[in-house]
Amino acid sequence: MKDEQDNLPQKRTSPNNIMSSIDAFFSSSPIKGLLHQMDDFFGNAFENTSLPLETKETSGEFIVICKLPGIKKEQISIETFDRSLTIGVKNEEQLETIDDSVQFVSSSYSMKQSKRTIPVPAYVKLHALQANYRDGLLQIRIPKKNSKQINIQD
């Protein structure tokens, strides 16, 4: 009877064995490489996608201020549609390394793009906006519509 029990598969009930199996699975080279690639993709894909901006109002205009240090004017786009304003930044980089000693050329290209759309009040003249970019600071000024005083008749 004892010999028959020795030949039967044994159940592993220890949680340490299960955790060891899971650790071994995720530590194996192919799985670990895949997980690193996924981390790199998702970690970098959403990095810096939101543009930091602030809005202000004066008696005569609606102002949008966006901090964009290190960005050139040519990389910025401003679009209006209906009652919204979209600010976009496109940053393209190309890096080429040449090593003549081993006759090797390495080239890499990357592009990062960020956009932010904000609603603008109905009481502004969106078609008359003015944009200014200086020292990493984008200022968009949108004049307000003039209100009309209505006289009440007797």
pLDDT in tens, 45-88: 444 457 889 999 999 999 999 999 989 999 999 999 989 999 99
123-138 mean pLDDT? 95
Token pair of 74, please?
A: 């040519």
Closest CA to 50 of 66, 30, 62, 26: 66
Q: What digits encode the pLDDT tens for the residues 85-101?
A: 999 999 887 777 777 77
Confidence of residue 110 (pLDDT cuts 50, 70, 90): confident
What's this model's pTM, rounded to 2 decimal places? Answer: 0.58
Find out whether 136 and 67 touch, Cβ atoms under 8 Å: yes
pLDDT at 46: 46
pLDDT at 119: 93
User: How large a percentage of the chain has pLDDT more than 70?
Assistant: 68
* Cα dihedral: 34, 39, 40, 45 (round 10): 130
Domain ranges within the chain, ordered by starting residue: 18-48, 52-143
Per CATH, which fold does 52-143 belong to? Immunoglobulin-like (2.60.40)
